[in-house]
Amino acid sequence: MKKIEAIIRKSKFSEVKDALHNVGVNFFSYWDVTGLGNEKEGHVYRGVSYSTSDIQRRYLSIVVNDDFEDITIKAILESASTGDVGDGKIFVSDINEAYRIRTGDKGGQTLN
């Protein structure tokens, strides 16, 4: 099993969510987060200066079986990308075991 953590633009969340559902990833957790990026200067919009040092993003935590790793990452990459700085990051790590609390089942079938 793999844990896929993605930090994406909040504005792309609906597209990413739909893309994940389309490839069969029907459960994941997410949080609104604030982070610091590489961009140090602010932006001016209609005469008002906005700081871009604190960046509002959405953090997704997805656990999938090994055979879903590539299609999950591809779905996120394709749906979250704008081509601009600040599109986000994806991190992948191994999950040793999973348990379903209700039944006590363990292993990959707990993800279904």
Average pLDDT, the chain: 89
Helix, strand, coil percentages for the chain (3-state, nearest 5): 30, 40, 35
pLDDT value at residue 85: 80
Note down the domain range covering 23.
2-111
Locate 36 and state its tokens: 């610091």
pLDDT value at residue 82: 92
Prediction pTM value: 0.84
Residue 106: CATH number of its domain: 3.30.70.120
The tally of domains found in the chain comes to 1
- The model's pLDDT over 41-90, given as tens digits with 9 standing for 90+, comes to 566 666 766 665 677 899 999 999 999 999 999 999 999 999 988 889 99
Locate 94 and state its tokens: 């191994």
Distances (CA, A) of 20 to 49, 50, 56: 36, 32, 21
Task: Tokens 């739909």: give the residue.
Answer: 18
Task: Tokens 């604190």: give the residue.
Answer: 54
The percentage of the chain sitting over the pLDDT mark of 90, rounded to a whole number, equals: 70
Count of residues making up the chain:
112
pLDDT value at residue 84: 84
